[in-house]
A and B are shown apart, each in its own frame.
Chain A
Amino acid sequence: MVAQGKAFVYGNNVDTDVIIPARYLNNSDPAALASHCMEDIDADFVKEVAAGDVIVAGKNFGCGSSREHAPLAIKTAGVSCVIAQTFARIFYRNAINIGLPILECEEAVNEVEKGDELVVDFAAGTITNKTRNKTYQTQPFPPFIQAIIAADGLVGRVKEELS
């Protein structure tokens, strides 16, 4: 699987309250959530984001609440992948469970700037920065997690198990 799009760049500790503020959690419709994604730190995000775009951020992305609404809002907004230096634990789990691809890559995080055109190859674990003509290599997921992704997220895995 390959994703392609432009980069939106943020700093460290992007928390779930700014990814999707709690005031919108009285509605669980994915499209409604996506329409407020990142609004408190980047009011222009929802206006500018296009299908395939990539979020690039620093340390501890997705810290805070367990709300699955956060990766759901990002995915529904059209984002194909989040690249961060590190992810907060619950966000990492949620993203895998709902099938939002995430990658940890410090080098990419250090060099990518807003608007850079990225191509992400998940099987190869490579991130190519077309704007800067560079390629970054990341670690592939452990086999256990690859199996969840292959089953189309945790829902698919449990479904197989129950049937």
Chain B
Amino acid sequence: MGMTMTQKILAVHAGRETVSAGELIEAQLDLVLGNDVTTPVALREFEKMGATEVFDRKKVVIVPDHFTPNKDIHSAEHCRQVREFAVDQDIENYFEVGEMGIEHALLPEKGLVVPGDVVIGADSHTCTYGALGAFSTGVGSTDMAAGMATGKTWFRVPEAQRFELTGKMQPWVTGKDVILHIIGMIGVDGARYQSMEFTGDGIANLGMDDRFTMANMAIEAGAKNGIFPVDEKTQAYVKEHAVKPHRVYEADKDAVYEKTHRIDLATIPLTVAFPHLPDNTRPVAEAGDVKIDQVVIGSCTNGRMDDLRMAAKILKGKKVAKNLRCIIFPGTQKIYLQAVREGLVEIFVEAGAVFSTPTCGPCLGGHMGILAKGERAVATTNRNFVGRMGHPESEVYLASPAVAAASALTGCISSPEEL
């Protein structure tokens, strides 16, 4: 019986010829990731395990990004713990404020994840690296601790759903609209425990930044991972960034899928997810008159160059709506600098937006843009759960950078076509 792309990667890392869905396996890890929220808890468990040393100091990555630059004394204490551990263990890939970025934007950019890798991260959006043809998935802190101690972890081999993409997207439509559309179609538990494998000749029309956005949100459909085949665009990306060799895997012709969805990219409209679940989607054209107080552009979902360029294109020479806050935060320092060089930051500031240092900040309601009771935001982030960005009675609407920027100008959910 044939294997999916995910199953092939897992089989090799489990030292096996084949694996099949439902089996429990132990796999070798190429990378173990943690952040400033999950690592302190992992360190407690690491110690309880009696571990004294990480399995490989080059294969552990720690990125303090959630409450940094430190929001308060508690977060400063967490970051200090994490920093001391990184220094003590001589962790090569510990990224301090000033060189850090949002973890899932940073790791691919630093070339730390390559096609064929198996990566676990104590952060649910670790699934982002599927864009590169790697198997990566989110786990908890105890799993991170065990991974750091032993260099391996257990997995239940997932079934898969295939998303066969054809055609080309309409103007302004991006990977964000595609993934929101798919989540709306299958639901927030539509791919629970499973892999979402994207295939089809439509993929050639998706840039790497679109693919990162889509793989990033696989977890919002409950998936274990989302994964893309490795093509010329991936190879070019890897050539530019990778710091280690990679391996390309392809699904077998007779791989078994629970379901196959055929999607013509040309039929996907600009899409927005209404509160309070990412699957509560509708076309922007049918959003109605939703007045908003804040726009947030950035995060590990949409804080890359394509995203900032798209926002700048719309905001250029215009002003954000009166009494509306527009907060833009890039994924990494490199993206920050590139945005400065390309003149994007000037466009943002002149439009009346805030341009922040890379941080998770507003995305998880941490700091740098919390919503008050009854306020509404359009955000390019990935979750619109109750209380996600602040008060439990505030609301988050998920959309692409183009829709978010257009909405910032009008003060209500808008399509860039209307401007």
A-side interface residues toward B, CB under 8 Å?
13, 15, 17-18, 21-23, 25-28, 40-41, 59-60, 63-69, 71-72, 86, 88-90, 93-94, 97-98, 142, 144-145, 153-155, 157-159, 161-163
Stretch of B70-78, B163-171, B311-319 on the interface side: B70-78
B-side interface residues toward A, CB under 8 Å?
24, 37-38, 40-41, 44-45, 48-51, 66-67, 71-72, 74-75, 78, 121-124, 126, 138-143, 145-146, 149-150, 154, 188-189, 192-193, 219, 222, 224, 277, 364-366, 370, 383, 385-388, 390, 392
Considering the complex, give the chain A residue whose CB is closest to the CB of B370: A23
Q: Can you list 6 A-B pairs, Cβ within 8 angstroms, ordered by A?
A: A21-B392, A26-B366, A64-B124, A64-B219, A66-B139, A68-B41
A15 to B40, CA, bound (A): 22
Residues of A within 8 A of B24 (CB): 142, 144-145
A76 to B225, CA, bound (A): 30
Residues of A within 8 A of B386 (CB): 15, 17-18, 40-41
Considering the complex, give the chain A residue whose CB is closest to the CB of B360: A22
Contact B143 A93 (CB under 8 A): yes
A65 to B277, CA, bound (A): 13
Residues of B within 8 A of A15 (CB): 383, 385-386
- From the candidates B41, B71, B146, name the one contacting A158 in the complex (CB within 8 A): B146
- From the candidates A23, A94, A98, name the one contacting B366 in the complex (CB within 8 A): A23
9 tightest A-B contacts by CB? Answer: A94-B140, A68-B140, A26-B74, A60-B189, A22-B364, A97-B142, A66-B124, A66-B138, A40-B392
Considering the complex, give the chain B residue whose CB is closest to the CB of A60: B189
- From the candidates B123, B150, B193, B388, name the one contacting A66 in the complex (CB within 8 A): B123
Known A18-B385, A93-B139, A154-B142; contact A13-B277, beta-carbon cutoff 8 A? yes
Known A161-B150, A162-B149; contact A67-B37, beta-carbon cutoff 8 A? yes
Residues of A within 8 A of B149 (CB): 158, 162
Contact A22 B154 (CB under 8 A): no
A40 to B394, CA, bound (A): 11
Q: How far is the CB of B252 from chain A (nearest CB, A)?
A: 24
Contact A64 B383 (CB under 8 A): yes
Considering the complex, give the chain A residue whose CB is closest to the CB of B366: A22
How many residue-residue contacts, CB under 8 A, span A and B? 145
Residues of B within 8 A of A142 (CB): 24
Considering the complex, give the chain A residue whose CB is closest to the CB of B387: A40
- From the candidates B40, B140, B189, B277, name the one contacting A28 in the complex (CB within 8 A): B40
Kindly name the residue among A89, A159, A163 whose own CB sees the greatest number of chain B CB atoms within 10 A: A89
Residues of A within 8 A of B139 (CB): 66, 90, 93-94
A11 to B145, CA, bound (A): 32
Known A23-B365, A59-B189, A144-B24; contact A69-B67, beta-carbon cutoff 8 A? no
Contact B38 A18 (CB under 8 A): no
Contact A60 B222 (CB under 8 A): yes
Contact A68 B49 (CB under 8 A): no
Contact B189 A86 (CB under 8 A): yes
A161 to B152, CA, bound (A): 12
Q: How far is the CB of B275 from chain A (nearest CB, A)?
A: 12
Contact A88 B192 (CB under 8 A): yes
Further 17 A-B residue pairs, CB within 8 A, beyond A158-B150, A162-B150: A13-B188, A21-B365, A22-B365, A26-B72, A40-B392, A41-B386, A59-B189, A64-B124, A66-B121, A66-B138, A88-B222, A94-B142, A97-B142, A144-B24, A144-B154, A161-B150, A162-B49
A40 to B365, CA, bound (A): 13
Q: How far is the CB of A34 from chain B (nearest CB, A)?
A: 14
- From the candidates A17, A64, A71, A155, name the one contacting B49 in the complex (CB within 8 A): A155
Residues of B within 8 A of A40 (CB): 386-387, 392
A60 to B66, CA, bound (A): 25
Contact A97 B140 (CB under 8 A): yes
Residues of A within 8 A of B71 (CB): 26
